[in-house]
Amino acid sequence: MHIPDGFLSWTWPIYYVIMFVALYFSLRWARKNLDEKLIPLIAVLSAGIFAIMSMNMPIPFGTSGHMLGGALVAIVFLAPEAAVLVLFIVLLVQALFFGDGGITALGANVVNMGLIGGAVAYFSFRGLEKFTGKYPAAAIAAWLSLFIAAEVVAVEMWLAGTFPLDVGLASMGIYHAFIGVIEAILTVVVLIALDKLRPDLLAWNRKTSGGQKLEGSEEVAAK
Amino acid sequence: MSTNDKYLVIAGVIICLLIAVMSPFIASPDPDGLEKSAEDAGVPEVEASYESPFPDYTIEGLDKIGEISALVIGIIITLIIAYIVAIALRRRNPPEASK
């Protein structure tokens, strides 16, 4: 769902402003929570998300889609701020070097995939995990994050005068309901692998030791 | 970096490279959800105003090898930038202050 240049008309600076505000919170989160051993994880997740975004999988209606990864990052770190940071890096590289997503649309792309994708995943995961268990919660959170991000793109396209609202919501919704299944499966696969191989890297295994992680996430929840 | 972290980076890079090698052959060439929605809404395709070095993950005249190389270059750039950003933003307070 990378928005190209031109699709946002005059509205693109709005999303740059939101992106910079979100990045400010990411920076604060990093200063507080990003310790030495999480640095390689940030790097590997960024590179992995860059790579997996090239793997477009076929879905019905002659359309294709790929994983976004915002949900994965938000759940691994239990912080939507981390998703904003990682998606910002990936989308910046894609826009600058590969023409994937416009330069003027970078703000909107980071807001949609990083901020909305990450926040929807984080809050739905947090809300669901008590009832469904971790992995089903992660799957639903990942599906929701992609679906809602897609519908937000439809609204943005309508604000910019690019799509009519009804066609945008219907098309984006139908295609991304399928792409969301890919997002859900891959998110859960990576979480299971990390939990088996490096449980120490997952925030859900760390949050009970020491109040620091909890303090950070409550602060976000309060906003 | 601890040995475990080295394994994480090595395993991560190997997975990324596998994706880069397979992707040009098996990735679907169909338009993505947003492009298809634009078609549904009858929006004309826009010409990119900015000329990126590897448009659409290709290197001119190199076909599949070019696509693989573009992805590998992208993976390495992303890994390095993310590493540098993470080091720059990492937690600053000394361990005793964080308790």
Listed range (A32-36, A164-168, A217-221) with the worst mean pLDDT: A217-221
pLDDT tens-digit profile of B23-42? 888 888 888 888 888 888 88
- Tell me whether residue B74 is in a domain: yes
Position B39 in a domain: no
Nearest Cα to Cα of residue A79 among A133, A118, A50: A118
B30/A27 touch (CB, cutoff 8 Å), yes or no: no
Query: B23 and A55: CB-CB below 8 Å?
Result: yes
Contact flag B57-A100 (C-beta cutoff 8 Å) = yes
Nearest to A30 by CA among A108, A89, A71: A89
Short-list B82, A98, A116, CA closest to A107: A116
How far is it, in rounded angstroms, from Cα A141 to Cα A155? 21
Query: What pLDDT is stored for residue B93 in this prediction?
Result: 65
| Structural domain contains residue B97 | no
Closest-CA distance of chain B to residue A79, Å: 15
Structure tokens at A210: 């020491």
Helices (H), chain B: 3-26, 33-40, 63-89
Cβ A158 vs Cβ A168: under 8 Å: yes
How many percent of chain A have pLDDT more than 70?
Answer: 92
* In the predicted structure, residue A34 carries a pLDDT above the cut 60: yes
- Please give the pLDDT value at position A163: 86
Mutate to test the interface with A, among B81, B85, B99 (most CBs of A within 10 A): B85
Sign of the CA dihedral A52, A140, A7, A56? positive
Structure tokens at B74: 């992208």
Q: Is A24 on the interface with B (CB under 8 A)?
A: no
What structural domains and CATH numbers belong to chain A? 9-222 (1.10.1760.20)
- Token representation of residue B10: 């090595």
**B61-83 pLDDT per residue, tens:** 788 888 999 999 999 999 999 99
**Number of CB atoms found within 10 A of residue A130's CB:** 8
pLDDT digits (tens, 9 = 90+) for A43-79: 999 999 999 998 888 888 888 888 899 999 999 999 9
> Quick one: pLDDT at residue A60?
81
Extract the runs of DSSP E, i.e. beta strands, from chain A: 57-59, 63-65
**SS3 call for B32:** strand
Give the pLDDT confidence of A165-196 residue by residue, as tens digits: 888 899 889 999 999 999 999 999 999 999 99
- Closest partner CB to B75 (pick from A6, A50, A62): A50
In this structure, is residue B34 part of a structural domain? no
* Percent with pLDDT over 90 in chain A: 73
How far, in Å, are A6, A163, B32 from residue B44 at the CA level?
10, 11, 15
Residues of B in contact with A69 (CB under 8 A): none
Domain membership flag for residue B43? no
Over range A135-159, report the average pLDDT. Answer: 95
- Helix then strand then coil, % of chain A, to nearest 5: 80, 5, 20
A128: β partners: none
Count of domains forming chain B: 1
Q: ipTM score of the complex? A: 0.89
Say how far apart CA A25 and CA A27 lie, in whole Å: 5
pLDDT at residue A210 above 60? no
With 50 as the cut, is the pLDDT of residue A142 above it?
yes
pLDDT at A216: 46
pLDDT, residue A219, reads 47
Tokens found for residue A39: 């640095």
Q: Are B17 and B75 in contact (CB under 8 A)?
A: yes
Provide φ and ψ at A64, rounded to 5°: -140, 165
C-alpha to C-alpha distance for B95 and A66, rounded to whole angstroms: 40
Chain B interface disruption, residue of A2, A53, A54, most B CBs within 10 A: A54
Q: Please report which confidence band the pLDDT of residue B56 belongs to, taking 50, 70 and 90 as the band edges.
A: confident
Q: What are the φ and ψ backbone dihedral angles of B98, each rounded to 5 degrees?
A: -85, -5
Contacts of A42 (CB under 8 A, 6+ apart): A34, A82, A85, A86, B82, B83, B85, B86
Query: Phi, psi at residue A57, to the nearest 5°?
Result: -105, 145
Query: For residue B46, is it within any domain?
Result: no
- Whole-model pTM? 0.90
Residues of A in contact with B56 (CB under 8 A): 98-100
**What is the domain range of residue B82?**
1-28+58-92
- In order of A123, A201, A208, B69, B90, the CA distances from A29 in angstroms are 17, 16, 18, 35, 9
